[in-house]
Structure 1
């Protein structure tokens, strides 16, 4: 028996050549920013099945096994396993100066865990963003595709005839990864509909869902304002990042727009639009952001901005999570006519407070799509901690979440002894997994009740997500769902390929080497080789 989800359903989703790129990408709005693209360490990362498919879950996991052990444990031991990489892949590695000892590759047919190609298959590797496959598959299976995060408002005080709350308004977060302005405004509107038009007291943030130790973690690198370095938070708002958009005019002025609005943010625009070549535009477009003693935050833009640079946007992570959320909430509150005469602080919702409003975020299936298509580290980290908080008692810790995920995998026939989880996003030097274990996980995910959501969340070669600019003129275009991972010294791909021969495959390849960044050609060659029927 073989699972038919990817081999048949995916073919209907991904017709060769006839597939228009917009058909898979237009329905999904891109997140406001790509939080996983470091400047110095570029990180790209992006129906329930028939019950008979569940029988595939009984296949023994091949975690951390050698090719010989894999053949011994597999369902079809007579199938031979190649340990020689295809010539085009070898040429790509040679051009990149990557030795075979730095490479780990597994290729399997869907429904058959005997590898048809296995090179260093059981070697623990830094997977970069392909670790998101572990987090998202576990999240979908443990929480369910329809799981929704809740952000709630409570009032503690008296409400006068004008709708002014004489007391505190509490906002309690549970880690919604996509609490952007379009979502938070729903909570603001619901509070207004409850009769509250003003707050004469404190705005209090209840962030007990995640342990305090998960906050203000050291950034991955020295670029502290980079959105990819933003850590998790129960009240994560707009990825804790501002998007400044500059638009020059021939009259010498430069307009500056910012999203999202923060109540305490003040823009000091000293830019001058100039003629000539686009030189120095990026420097001028990057503001100096300074918190002031009076509680405001000043963003200073100064210098010359050439008109030829055109409209340009820059994303910056600023402030801490509580300051950012409070500023964003109060900006929306005041934009909708609300008044505020008080202070902001953190604290638990008291037993005397009563529920005022609840906002439910997007379903997890949509969140997973954003995480995998666009390889969003911040969203992945919030999902990772949510798994621990929901299955264990809050507050969540990385240790709780890692234990829950390992227990889930083990209970479903995937004991992965080499798996090391730190934050679930892959933006880490401490996270490890083998190519063979990722292949096992992909096989099981494709045979699971969440298969369609999971497979559909992966970037499509040449079409969308982090694969949109790869293999656009190759025959494999539109016929591979591939999660990518790129970190300094790491390049990885993992996912599914629908071959031209009618057979579908699981493909995993991880490179850990100082020259890994130059090895993209090798990975593209591997996907093309698999698509062409392994020849």
Structure 2
């Protein structure tokens, strides 16, 4: 049995960019619901939208042409383009029709989080013990790991928590590890996934003790010099073992993913075995396979135990995994504060990370309304109240989980544009804009319009479901004007209509002539 555990490779450097490639973010999912019928006051005549060039209330001709090529009717779209500071839109179509926004809904969640919690907000993860370390460094009794929903509790952050605990003089734990996940309602995550793909990273459910996105990241590397195939995994879990029987093969790569997907199975002795078998061609090169497997409890337990041992800590016996609450009077062994919300928001929007967005959404409700554990219902009420206080009443807004990974969520292009204008004028506007993918440069837009003039001048959140393509954000035009741009396509052929969005961005960059 060959085992190679990577110590602390930069987890997000490997994991988050895969979302932009469609591996972690919501991509290609089925059956997005059709948009609701648009309101009468938002209706524009087909003639206005089809005029040469562009009608002030319609769509640019280049956009209409692209929609026709994709066989998407204008009735299945919603657009709103307005210059910042202007009183009337430059282009508007079905603008008040509630649409499925896919991941552009993350703009509502991240703006709300920045304003309600503050860019400097940090999540807490705390380690308690039944007793203080004795003179020999032994803690007699159980230890308690309590989470408050940190979206980015990755190995590097867990190691900091462990280092703080070790600095108290603790060397040995003579007891069990109890996980306190009570900050989130226990019903969260009990429902099914949107597409039935339970092992996909984009479908990971939120949790008060989310560790490393509950995702195992395997790196498969052919090594022709030794005629072997190396396999490594992040994060290190105490109970995880690798059985690497991959043989190096010659010839073309072919379907590498079918041969490089491990079988992950629990063993009778409490370990979990990740087995690789078969052949892997040198021509395949290095690949990363992500599997969201095991439970939140198993991930948090295995991650803490592994980090404790890697830091030189010991256990008098294999600690049992228990779930419960921290008892009153427990000794605070270590308190860790995660990365600031400003950094979390950047990861959420740049890479469209669903579980991080859901963690933030739940945290908003729990921190602002402290009447009980986090729930989506509590968060929806808090966000609605926050919108109403700012004059952004949105009667057609439908909030579900705050990430856009939903067939239920709805918002109109007009309401999204109001939110974006409000955000731009707010004190957190620069932080929000900095979190957005830059066209042709990074995040989910790094490969879009890379040679066009608009590249580097559009800051847009993308959204993708099987029947949805969405864009929302800001475009800096060639003449120096800044525009708010929102575009929703809800149709079975939405995937073929990307050219319509590209045409819209280029038209706005040219100054919406």
Conservation of the 8 A alpha-carbon contact between 1:67 and 1:115: no
Q: Deviations over 1:295-321 (max 9, x none)?
A: 111111000111111111111111111
State how far apart, in whole Å, the 1-side matches of 2:253 and 2:43 are: 58
With 207-216 and 483-492 compared, the bigger mean Cα shift is at 207-216
1:343 aligned residue: 320
Contact 1:174 1:235 (8 Å CA) reproduced: yes
1:282 aligns with 2:267: no
Name the counterpart of 1:106: 80
* 1:205 corresponds to which of 170, 176, 179: 179
Q: Kindly tell me: are residues 81 and 350 of structure 1, through their superposed partners in 2, closer, same or farther at Cα, counting changes over 3 Å?
A: farther
Q: How does 1:59-74 map to 2 (within 5 A)?
A: 66-67=41-42
1:525 equivalent to 2:503? Answer yes
Given candidates 501, 504, 507, the residue that maps to 2:485 is 507
Distance (Å, rounded) in 2 between the aligned partners of 1:64 and 1:433:
13
Superposed, 1:108-187 pairs within 5 Å as 108-157=82-131, 159-187=133-161
1:382 aligned onto 2:359:
yes
Match of 1:353 in 2: 330
Match for residue 32 of structure 1? Answer: 15
Shift of 1:217: 3.1
2:184 is aligned with 1:249: no
Offset from partner CA, 1:294-349 (integer Å, 9 cap, x none): 21111110001111111111111111111101101111111111112221111100
Offset at residue 81 of structure 1 (A) = 7.7
Deviation at 1:254, TM superposition (A): 1.0
Does the CA-based 8 Å contact 1:41-1:488 persist in structure 2? no
Distance in 2, matches of 1:66 and 1:179, equals 47
Shift of 1:157: 3.0
Pairing 1:307–2:282 present? yes
Check whether the contact 1:64–1:417 (CA below 8 A) recurs between aligned residues: no
Instruction: Report how far residue 354 of structure 1 moved.
Output: 1.5
- Provide the rounded CA distance (Å) in 2 between the counterparts of 1:222 and 1:29: 25
Give the superposed CA RMSD.
Answer: 2.1
Distance 1:462 1:83, change over 3 A: same
TM-score using structure 2 length? 0.90
State the distance in 2 between where 1:185 and 1:427 align: 31
User: Of the candidates 453, 465, 472, which is equivalent to residue 487 of structure 1?
Assistant: 465
Partner of 1:60: none
Aligned to 2:302: 327
Q: Describe the superposition over 1:213-269 as per-residue Cα deviations: whole angstroms up to 9, x where unpaired.
A: 113431221221110010101111110101101111224321111011000001111
> What SS does structure 2 have at the residue aligned with 1:213?
coil
Could you list the per-position Cα deviations for residues 482-507 of structure 1 after superposition, in whole angstroms to 9, with x for gaps in the alignment?
11001110000000011112211000
User: What SS does structure 2 have at the residue aligned with 1:223?
Assistant: coil
Q: Does 1:367 align with 2:344?
A: yes
Which residue in 1 is equivalent to 2:32? none
Q: Secondary structure at the match of 2:275?
A: strand
Aligned partner (choices 441, 458, 467) of residue 463 of structure 1 = 441
After superposition, the Cα gap between the structure-2 partners of 1:121 and 1:92, relative to the gap in structure 1 and judged at 3 Å, is same
| Residue 430 (structure 1) aligned with residue 408 (structure 2) | yes
CA apart distance, 1:186: 0.4
- CA-to-aligned-CA distance 1:149-180 (integer Å, 9 cap, x gap): 01011111353332111101111110111111
Residues 43 and 487, structure 1, Cα contact 8 Å, conserved in 2:
yes
1:42 aligns with 2:27: yes
Q: 2:396 aligns with which of 402, 418, 422?
A: 418
Give a deviation string over 1:444-495, Cα, whole Å, max 9, x none.
0000110110111111111111111001111111111011001110000000
Name stretches of at least 5 consecutive residues in structure 1 with no aligned partner.
1-27, 45-62, 70-79
Cα gap change, 1:182 to 1:330, in 2 (>3 Å): same
What's the offset of the Cα at 1:41? Answer: 6.1
SS in 2 for 1:133: helix
> What SS does the aligned partner of 1:525 have?
helix
In 2, Cα distance between equivalents of 1:30 and 1:41: 19
Look up the match of 1:406.
Answer: 384
